[in-house]
């Protein structure tokens, strides 16, 4: 897949290998980190939503730079880095019905944080990566 980003306007600062990209956000726009803390999310709920997103052609969404699910089943959380809040909010509208169908607690609001820069090594927990 190469670099983790497809956005126009980023200035690549350094490349140590074809699988690593480092970007600086002193341009006119800024990436965001979003933290979700649904109460009681299980591995089964997370996997169910992921399968439905993939089956519906909604995964991976445009603008998503990184996605991490962490914690233990019954206490899973998700953090994501997005090219922009606008792209994240567009995806959130498509995601909501899948979360509701899986009975994921949506009462907590996500946290948004500006990202000044990032370094990602292209990797995945999927088999073959």
- Cβ within 8 Å of residue 23, ≥6 positions away: 5, 10, 11, 12, 13, 31, 117, 118
Share of the chain above pLDDT 70, in %: 75
> Is residue 79's pLDDT more than 60?
yes
Please give the model's pTM, rounded to 2 decimal places: 0.74
Contact 20, 122 (CB under 8 A): yes
Contact 33, 81 (CB under 8 A): yes
The neighbour count for residue 94, using CB atoms within 10 Å, is 14
């Amino acid at each position: 897949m190469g670099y983790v980003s497809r956005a126009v306007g980023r200035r690549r600062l350094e490349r140590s290998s074809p699988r690593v990209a480092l970007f600086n956000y002193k341009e006119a726009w800024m990436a965001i980190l979003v933290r979700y803390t649904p109460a009681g999310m299980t591995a089964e709920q997370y996997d169910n939503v992921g399968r439905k997103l993939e089956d519906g052609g909604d995964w991976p969404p445009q603008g998503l730079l990184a996605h991490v699910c962490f914690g233990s089943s019954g206490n899973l959380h998700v953090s994501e880095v997005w090219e922009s809040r606008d792209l994240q909010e567009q995806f959130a509208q498509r995601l909501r019905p899948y979360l509701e169908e899986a009975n994921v607690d949506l009462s907590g609001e996500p946290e948004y944080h500006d990202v000044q820069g990032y370094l990602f090594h292209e990797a995945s927990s999927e088999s073959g990566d």
